[in-house]
Amino acid sequence: MQNDVVIYTDGACKGNPGPGGWGALLRSADGTEKEMFGGELDTTNNRMEMMAVIQALAVLKRPCNVILHLDSQYVLKGITEWLAGWKAKGWKTAAKQPVKNVDLWQQLDPLVSQAGPTLDFALGQKTVKECGPVAAAGPARQPGWPHHRLALGQRPRRRPRQRAGRRLGKPGR
């Protein structure tokens, strides 16, 4: 009998590139939960989204029926649409350019294959609600990080964007 596991993943980055974190929440059918997190000082949001999925799938000890919740189109399309083609072309894109984040895609490829007979994907904001705070707080839980003052469950503050018209001196609405 296969175990059922629901995984929520998210990545966050303050600046892109900049310091970032990833988080994953694994929930088994019996209600057992495992929370994971981590981060890097100089990274991108896409890399943190990928690391969350890699780390979550890597802890599975045997094949499971996995429902993977993520909010990254990049990771979802990479796994479901692009990965096979990249491998067939020697890790080159359709434009014959090297695949970005190839080191992480090469780690993710066997993990997706080994996840089990059922790997369903759910794309949406439920992931952010369940796991976003874990990703945002991941770096805060590691000593020596420059933004260590983030409270658990709190996302890094973003600077408000200015309208292009105001920046160029044109009258705003």
Residue 101 within any structural domain of the chain: yes
Residue 172 within any structural domain of the chain: no
Q: Range of 133's domain?
A: 3-151
Indicate the pTM of the whole model.
0.73
**pLDDT greater than 80 at residue 39:** yes
What confidence score (pLDDT) does residue 1 get?
60
**pLDDT greater than 50 at residue 147:** no
Residue 46 within any structural domain of the chain: yes
**pLDDT greater than 70 at residue 50:** yes
Percent of the chain with pLDDT over 70: 66
* Backbone CA torsion sign across 67, 56, 73, 77: negative
Q: How many domains does the chain have?
A: 1
What confidence score (pLDDT) does residue 158 get?
42
Q: Which two tokens stand for residue 68?
A: 């993977």
Residue 158 within any structural domain of the chain: no
CATH code, domain carrying 135: 3.30.420.10
Residue 168 within any structural domain of the chain: no
**pLDDT greater than 50 at residue 129:** yes
Residue 162 within any structural domain of the chain: no
Residue 173 within any structural domain of the chain: no
Length of the chain: 173
Q: Which two tokens stand for residue 29?
A: 């059918």
**Which range (15-29, 104-118, 130-144) has the least confidence?**
130-144
Residue 32 within any structural domain of the chain: yes
Radius of gyration of the chain (CA): 18
Give the model's confidence band at 133: pLDDT under 50 very low, under 70 low, under 90 confident, else very high. Answer: low
What average pLDDT does the structure give for the chain? 76
Q: Which two tokens stand for residue 127?
A: 């992931």
Neighbouring-strand partners of residue 40: 20
